[in-house]
Amino acid sequence: MTKQLELAQNLAQELAHATSGMVGTTCGGALNALRALADDKSSTNAIARMHRMTAFARRAQDDLHDGEQSFQQSQVEDANRQWANALVLMDALSVDAANILDNVAVTTAADLQKSGKTG
């Protein structure tokens, strides 16, 4: 086995571990954000944000699938690139979800304060 192939396979293992760790966190955060957007009646751009999150999730899913196909065909470098792309998309999806949840929490707190329901 060449040194380059060995390094590519090690990277593939690291990407696989990172991906499996991010999938659950990303999905949970995204679902919470989508639920918050659906409940937020004042959000004028809720549909656009939902579409953006859906597109990120779909692209990440495609990259994960394509990476697996490449890996099965012994195209380890292509698999690594595709899995790395999926990680970048999942990170962007997680950040977007966190921003949505933060915005909803701030809006909710401000609304509660205006209505006198909090101290």
pLDDT tens for each residue of the chain, 119 residues long: 677 777 777 777 777 767 766 666 677 777 777 777 767 666 666 777 777 888 888 898 899 889 889 988 989 889 889 989 988 988 888 888 888 777 766 665 566 566 665 55
Judge whether 63 lies within some domain: yes
Judge whether 64 lies within some domain: yes
pTM metric for this prediction? 0.65
What pLDDT score does 103 carry?
74
What pLDDT score does 73 carry?
92
DSSP label of 102 = H
Q: Which residue type sits at 38?
A: A
What pLDDT score does 85 carry?
92
As given in the structure block, the two tokens for residue 106 are: 């701030």
Domain count, the chain: 1
Judge whether 31 lies within some domain: no
What pLDDT score does 12 carry?
76
Judge whether 23 lies within some domain: no
As given in the structure block, the two tokens for residue 77 are: 């470098």
* 61 Cβ contact list (under 8 Å, min separation 6): 86
Domain range for 60: 44-105
Judge whether 38 lies within some domain: no
Judge whether 95 lies within some domain: yes
Judge whether 14 lies within some domain: no
Side-chain-facing half-sphere of 4: CA atoms under 13 Å: 3
Judge whether 36 lies within some domain: no
